[in-house]
Structure 1
Amino acid sequence: MMTLSDDTKVVENFVRVAQIIANLESILTQAKNLSLTAKNARVVALRAGDAALGFKPITNFIDEFSEQTINSTTKIADLSNQLFNKALKLVRSSQYYHQMTILKSQMKSTQVESMYQQALKSQRRAASQLSHALSELENHFEDIQKQMQSAEYIAVTSRVEATNAGDFSDSLQSVSDFIASAAKTIKTAVVYNLSEIHTLRGVLR
């Protein structure tokens, strides 16, 4: 379990939470771009007609996983304020616990002991609440990770179909390239956040 009397470590963990929240914007932006790309690809596929017949179902898949990613990221964004508040609460309760630990070592009394025990309970409760919130976030990020695995598969499939689209091949190829690029960006952000969450949860145990 984290030595919460270590103020530096507590602040470092608070910064980790802030970085996780900030990283959400990159994921959401890319997910929205994927959704827009699906709409553009559908227009190109319609113009290409029979030459892009195999590409049309792919645009539906792009729409589907981009919407799933947007929904997952939006849920995470809704949780981010709660996460920030829980992290801030842990910082404050940990600092108070640290002060009571010092006071307890300097003064022996029933009142001080009672205040110390109350500070300890408050700190542990805050740590437990933050750990629960992080666990919930972890599940959402793992969902996004699975969605990006689907995106990578679609990018490969769409490249094959793009080669059969005649004059529209380059346009559809650029769609495939963007899907692959966006999926990579999102996966990188998700892997980072999962790593930070894993570190935080390990410290909070």
Structure 2
Amino acid sequence: MNHQTKTQFIAVASITSELTAVISISKEISLAAANAKAIAFRAGDKARGFQPITDFINDLAKEMIQNIEIINELATSLCRITIKEYRKTEAFNKFELITTTCGSAVHAHSMQKPLADAKAIVQNCQLQFKRDVALLMDHLDTVTQHAKTAGIIATYSRIEASQAGEYLQSLQTVSKSVDNAAHKIHDHVQRCIIALSRFGSANK
């Protein structure tokens, strides 16, 4: 396996690991929003400003999970492309060696088509890999923005929670958990971006 292929496998494996964590954390945010909604309902008018925030947080978590699922599909595609590129590169190298070895043999020209076909497939894999990396980066940017938004909403929700009387502590605990989750998601996504940034198409 050549260096480029190893690099691609390492990057994809790293991304997959980070994304698994992000999905788990996003589900935690969704659960926190559900808990906050229940608390806000019990608090009634004291948490009137907090109630719509819980719906927004829940929707945001769902959007993040949807984006991560798309990113997971792209990461799987990158893995398949990398395997295909490796196999076709091996085939091309063998065809090239045979062509060189055959020299002026009678049927040496018959190797030209499989040689050209293998080369075209390798080049197509490389182009597809770059396209998928670019798409993946776009979705990672979206998740990063969602994480930032969740952090801002968490800060705002702490302010709203201050009006909730005896429910203040419970709501602030939820806000803190959302804020912590947002920071964790941001960190995981940044590690994905770093893993991809080694590729020329992933300019960041």
- Is 1:167 matched with 2:162? no
Distance 2:56 2:79 in 1: 34
Give 3-state SS (helix, strand or coil) of 1:145's partner. helix
Q: Tell me if the contact between 1:52 and 1:164 (Cα under 8 Å) persists in the aligned partners.
A: yes
Please report how far the alpha carbon of residue 95 of structure 1 lies from its aligned counterpart in structure 2 after TM superposition: 2.8
State yes or no: 1:55 paired with 2:54. Answer: no
Number of the residue aligned with 2:187: 188
**Kept in 2: contact 1:34–1:63 (CA 8 A):** yes
Q: Is the 8 A contact 1:93 1:119 kept in 2?
A: yes
- Following the alignment from structure 1 to structure 2, what is the Cα–Cα distance between the partners of residues 160 and 64? 20
1:105-137 CA-partner distances (Å, limit 9, x unpaired): 555343444443332212101111222222222
Shift of 1:59: 0.7
**3-state DSSP class of the match of 1:199?**
coil
Match of 1:74 among 64, 69, 77: 69
Using the size of structure 1 for normalisation, the TM-score is: 0.85
Q: How does 1:132-171 map to 2 (within 5 A)?
A: 132-171=131-170
Identity of aligned residues (%): 26
Q: Give the deviation of 1:153 after TM superposition.
A: 0.7
**In the alignment, does 2:12 pair up with 1:13?**
no
- Offset at residue 188 of structure 1 (A): 1.1
Tell me if structure 2 keeps the 8 A contact 1:65–1:147: yes
For structure 1, which segment, 77-86 or 154-163, has the greater mean C-alpha deviation from structure 2 after superposition?
77-86
Partner of 2:197: 198
Distance in 1 separating the partners of 2:17 and 2:123: 26
Rounded Cα–Cα distance in structure 1 between residues aligned with 2:69 and 2:34? 20
1:18 shift after superposition: 2.1
Cα gap change, 1:104 to 1:12, in 2 (>3 Å): farther
Q: TM-score, normalization: structure 2? A: 0.86
Give the stretch that moved more between structures: 107-116 or 138-147.
Answer: 107-116
- One-letter amino acid of the structure 2 residue matched with residue 154 of structure 1: I
Larger displacement relative to structure 2 (120-129 or 96-105): 96-105
- Cα drift, residue 182 of structure 1: 0.8
Give aligned pairs, total.
198
Deviation for aligned residue 1:89: 0.9
- How far the C-alpha of 1:164 sits from its partner, in A, is 2.1
CA 1:9–1:81: 2 relative to 1, 3 Å:
closer
Matched-pair contact (CA < 8 Å) for 2:133–2:201: no
Q: Which runs of 5+ in 2 are unaligned?
A: none
TM-superposed deviation, 1:11: 1.7
Gaps of 5+ in 1: 1-5
How far apart in 2 are the matches of 1:130 and 1:62? 34
